[in-house]
Amino acid sequence: MSFFKFKQFDVDQTGCAMKVNTDGVLLAALAKGHDAKTILDVGAGTGVVALMLAQRFPQIYIDAVEIDDHAADTATKNFTNSKFAERLRLFKGDFANLERMEYDLIISNPPFFIDSLRSAKDNKALARHTDSSFFERLVSFAAENLSAEGICQLILPVATSELVIGMLATNSLYLQSVINIRSFATDDPHREVITFGKDNVTNEVTEVVIYESPKVYTTQYSSLLKDFLTIF
């Protein structure tokens, strides 16, 4: 059995291709859900992002969708075993097949290695590989299912982020903010959290630096995750 213990819930990740990782917890900690009434987590995996959002926003009901059978079953179990169970709902299947509904926040820590060589024997590789059509479908889905002032937030490598940003205009969506994620202050960003929606507002660019020095987290990072991770 493989469990990741958070301060207010546990995540069973036994047999799941993608374990709890920095990308997911950072995305959930940075999510702009304070004004949301409805949230959808696309590609829920173990359910960690939805669980963190349920902790952050105690009045909000959260939907999650996961296409992998084992991951979906695991997420459902993690939801049921949490104190947030009554506010979490898991759909098993492709997000594109969900009944149309308006969401104030659509959030995803998606597969992001575009058109890479795939290995059928490596579940983790498969969980992180996709092709550009996945993002085309996701952006189109956001355009159809975001509320008027709703936003979509994704965490992506920089090159994939640029690809997704290039898809927005044809879907009448606008980039609203970019958060550059750096391991160290002197490093180039290795991830970006992008926010887009139907409102054409000024694009805000900020950053998060994870480490002050090797194995020493920045105050910024620890402040973001102190309510969740037991190491803080």
Determine how many CB atoms are found less than 10 A away from the CB of residue 7: 12
Q: Are 41 and 110 in contact (CB under 8 A)?
A: no
Give the separation between CA 205 and CA 193, rounded to whole angstroms.
Answer: 10
pTM of this prediction exceeds 0.85: yes
- Close Cβ partners of 202 (under 8 Å, ≥ 6 residues apart): none
Joined together, the tokens standing for residue 152 give 């979509």
Domains of the chain: 3-225 (3.40.50.150)
Joined together, the tokens standing for residue 85 give 């169970």
pLDDT in tens, the chain (232 residues): 799 999 999 999 998 888 999 999 999 999 999 999 999 999 999 999 999 999 999 999 999 999 999 999 999 999 999 999 999 999 999 999 999 999 999 999 997 654 443 444 454 544 444 578 899 999 999 999 999 999 999 999 999 999 999 999 999 999 999 999 999 999 999 999 999 999 999 899 999 999 999 999 999 999 999 999 999 9
B/e letters for 89-116, b = 16+ CB within 10 Å, e = fewer, are ebbbeebeebeeeebbbbbbbbbbbbee
Partnered with residue 211 across adjacent β-strands are 217
